[in-house]
Structure 1
Amino acid sequence: MAQRSVLYLLLLIITVSCTKQERKLPILGNREPVEKVVDGKTVIDTIYQAVPAFSFLNQDSVRVTEQAFNGKIYVADFFFTRCPSICPVMHRNMLKVYEKYKGNASVKLLSHTIDAIHDQPSVLKTYATKLGITGDQWEFVHGSHDSVYTIAEKSYLVAVGKEASAPGGFIHQGWFVLVDKQKRLRGAYDGTDTKQVAQLIEDMGVLLNEEDGK
């Protein structure tokens, strides 16, 4: 009986492990079917929406481009330092992600300010320091109004905007967007919801396993 119990436990462990390894995250965003020739045959392939080239200044006034994220998965969000509503909650939750993957060279975090006038790199540096962030694994970046708002809405599919009647003068969604090594969108999570942030942390592990298995 004891042997059967041990065997059942081993089978259960193997089944759970296989299930985790086989699980893959969906690819979000727009997609376009294209024809290509493989071994003399025409086949249909799919081109998925991907984050395009960008250039911002981070909290250390260092130029950051998409190349800094080559070969890495990352989580992107949009905020502003004077935000009196959801941003403090979002970044308390993002700290959980940071602590989980701190020091992992395959993981980065990217927070874009939507307040181009006030949130200069020096302001972002103070903000990052108060959160206890050092190094460049979590980048807080500043760019022109047009560059940040365009990449938010067209590439990350996050709504942002100025709104005089809104708390702090801006409106934005609190999504944490998970991006893979090919810069494709693989998940979106409510950064104010602890359960969804926990799911993000788990899905990042799934994505890392998926990428490593290629």
Structure 2
Amino acid sequence: MKNLIGLLVIVLLYSACKSNNQTTLPILGNRQPVTKTVDGKTVTDTVYSTIPEFKFVNQYADTITGKSLDGKIYVADFFFTTCPSICPVMHRNMLNVYQEFKADDNFRIISHTIDPKYDTVPVLKKYADKLGISGNTWWLLQGTKDETYQIAKNYLVSVQEKNPQGEFIHDGYFILVDKQKRLRGTYDGTDPAQVTKLIADIKILRAEPDEAAAK
């Protein structure tokens, strides 16, 4: 009987380890096969959609481009400082991500305002100070309306300038992006359990061979 119980414990421990040792995350978005010749052999690779080059300004009035994120894992979201509903909840939850990884220079958070007319650099800086964030781990970004709304599509996020009631509308997702600018996960920023999963997935992503090689 003791041997049977011991065997059962070993099986359960193995199953738990196997389920927790996920080593890769899915790659989201569009993809297409590309055929090329390598060493005289025909090889087909999969090319995934990536976040295109951009140019915005952060809360410090620094210019931030896609190159500013080269070699970094990052999380993106969309918000506006006067949002009365989901944005405060999202960014309270994002603070957990910030606190977990703020010492990692290979990680960033970027939050795009969808109300660039009101959310000027001084307004974004005041918002950052109220959140209690400093340094370069978390950038609040302002660009033109067209640039911001266009790049939201690349993140598979829906934003709307104003609905008939005069309110800005946007998804509350946090988007995880790898060092190759590929989408690796989407998470409900208003759900603490989803944010906990995001933190765990960032750690998984940092350990992926491709991510380690891109440092």
Task: Mark the CA change 1:119 to 1:17 in structure 2 (over 3 Å): closer, same or farther.
Answer: same
SS in 2 for 1:78: strand
Instruction: State the distance in 1 between where 2:118 and 2:213 align.
Output: 43
Describe the superposition over 1:54-80 as per-residue Cα deviations: whole angstroms up to 9, x where unpaired: 100000111001111111100000000
1:100 aligned residue: 100
1:58 aligned residue: 58
Task: Mark the CA change 1:190 to 1:22 in structure 2 (over 3 Å): closer, same or farther.
Answer: closer
Q: Which residues of 2 match residues 156-195 of structure 1 at below 5 A?
A: 156-166=155-165, 169-195=167-193
Q: Which residues of 2 match residues 38-49 of structure 1 at below 5 A?
A: 38-49=38-49
Kept in 2: contact 1:74–1:179 (CA 8 A): yes
Task: Mark the CA change 1:92 to 1:151 in structure 2 (over 3 Å): closer, same or farther.
Answer: same
Describe the superposition over 1:164-186 as per-residue Cα deviations: whole angstroms up to 9, x where unpaired: 445x7200000000000000000
TM-score by length of 2: 0.89
Kept in 2: contact 1:77–1:110 (CA 8 A): yes
Instruction: State the distance in 2 between where 1:26 and 1:83 align.
Output: 32
Kept in 1: contact 2:163–2:169 (CA 8 A): no
Kept in 1: contact 2:23–2:207 (CA 8 A): no
Kept in 1: contact 2:22–2:204 (CA 8 A): no
Instruction: State the distance in 1 between where 2:140 and 2:106 align.
Output: 18
Kept in 2: contact 1:163–1:169 (CA 8 A): yes
After TM superposition, give the deviation of residue 36 of structure 1 in Å.
Answer: 1.1
Kept in 1: contact 2:113–2:119 (CA 8 A): yes
Instruction: State the distance in 1 between where 2:175 and 2:83 align.
Output: 19
Q: Which residues of 2 match residues 1-214 of structure 1 at below 5 A?
A: 20-153=20-153, 155-166=154-165, 169-210=167-208, 211-212=211-212
SS in 1 for 2:27: coil
Worse overlay, 48-57 or 31-40: 31-40
Kept in 2: contact 1:20–1:206 (CA 8 A): no
Query: Percent identity, aligned pairs only?
Result: 52
After TM superposition, give the deviation of residue 11 of structure 1 in Å.
Answer: 9.0
Task: Mark the CA change 1:12 to 1:67 in structure 2 (over 3 Å): closer, same or farther.
Answer: farther
After TM superposition, give the deviation of residue 18 of structure 1 in Å.
Answer: 6.4
Describe the superposition over 1:140-170 as per-residue Cα deviations: whole angstroms up to 9, x where unpaired: 00000000000001x101000122445x720
SS in 2 for 1:169: coil
After TM superposition, give the deviation of residue 92 of structure 1 in Å.
Answer: 0.3
Structure 1 gaps, min length 5: none
Q: CA RMSD in A?
A: 2.4
After TM superposition, give the deviation of residue 121 of structure 1 in Å.
Answer: 0.8
